[in-house]
Amino acid sequence: MSIKYTRDYDKILDDLSRAISTIPQFYETFEMNDTEWTGLDENEKAVCLRTLADDVFYVLGSDPSAPVGPGLAEYDAAHSVIKITAGPQLVHVVTLRE
């Protein structure tokens, strides 16, 4: 299985990064705690988020879902979207088509 997309990959990663950043303690995916995360400067945080978004995209190419800290990422091939569940009432939809 692979993720099919026609949208610019960088724009997909931008949207994924923003969506992932709304998951409480998403940085636990990197095995970081609150102190370690807050100790990073803004550039380091942005790099970590971008790396995580890229990793999530890669994982969803072989698994339809993956945990992200306490949240969840899911690839919905039928609708060409990635859903990021950040909480019980917050789900982001990242489109993969232009």
Residue 84 has pLDDT above 80, yes or no: yes
This prediction's pTM: 0.92
> Which alpha helices (DSSP H) does the chain contain, by range?
9-20, 34-38, 42-60
- Cα separation, 48 vs 40, in Å, equals 10
Residue 24 has pLDDT above 80, yes or no: yes
pLDDT at 51: 96
HSE toward the beta carbon, residue 78, CA cutoff 13 A: 0
